[in-house]
Amino acid sequence: MNKQISILAILTFLMFSCDKGDLDRTIFIPDEDDSKLPAYSEWGYNSFGAEYEREYFLASQRIVPCKMMYGDHQLRFSLFGLRSSAEMTLEFIFPVEQMSDYKDLAQLNDVIIDLADHDCTVKIWQDETESVLEILSGKLHFKRVQLLYVDDSINRVILSGTFELRFLQKGYPTNITNGRFDLGINNKYFYKQ
């Protein structure tokens, strides 16, 4: 019941007291099972989170959480956040059909990307160092993609989904688990090369 009341309060706040610029803010609603992670949602809260071994990789209020770039029939889906108070980027690169603008992200609805596929690349950027990960297994699932209309015009695409991956780091298996994202993407955060 508390969860329903808090979600209703947040939605009411967003509908009646915010302008369009507030749609870019990151809203953190804690998960019931692990309060350090955001709850899975499909509301465009501009939030994400995952367990990175015994740490957390999370969206931050001070960093734009996601940017996407399309070029050469590949999409770069980059999550920008904090891990142990240090900035980190997790980037998924995978093949997709033609995209001309952010509205074309709708084609990702209910798409599962096998991150171990040879056509996929996963990178981590931390401390100004790029690491291309040797993926053992993993998947990126765009569970729901929806268009958000404001004043009868498309304002953004809301991407909601999950991810998990297992990779080698310094020769040992490393896990990123319980990943979830709920992001609003428009032309400010989507770029076509």
DSSP codes of every residue in 60-87? -TTS--EEEEEETTEEEEEEEEEETTEE
Sign of dihedral through CA atoms 22, 28, 162, 51? positive
Determine the pLDDT at residue 178.
98
Report the relative pairing of strands 47-52 and 66-71 from DSSP bridges: unpaired
Contact 57, 50 (CB under 8 A): yes
The gap between the terminal CA atoms of the chain, to the nearest Å, is 47
Determine the pLDDT at residue 50.
98
Determine the pLDDT at residue 160.
98
Can you give the pTM of this predicted structure?
0.88
Contact 160, 147 (CB under 8 A): no
Q: Helix or strand or coil: residue 155?
A: strand
Element counts in the chain: helices (H) and strands (E): 1, 12
Determine the pLDDT at residue 128.
87
Contact 83, 56 (CB under 8 A): yes
Determine the pLDDT at residue 17.
43
Nearest Cα to Cα of residue 39 among 181, 148, 187: 181
Nearest Cα to Cα of residue 26 among 181, 142, 190: 181
- Residue pLDDT tens, the chain, 193 long: 444 444 444 544 444 444 556 788 999 999 999 999 999 999 999 999 999 999 999 999 999 999 999 999 999 999 999 999 999 999 999 999 899 999 999 999 999 999 999 999 999 999 889 999 999 999 999 999 999 999 999 999 999 999 999 999 999 999 999 999 999 999 999 999 9
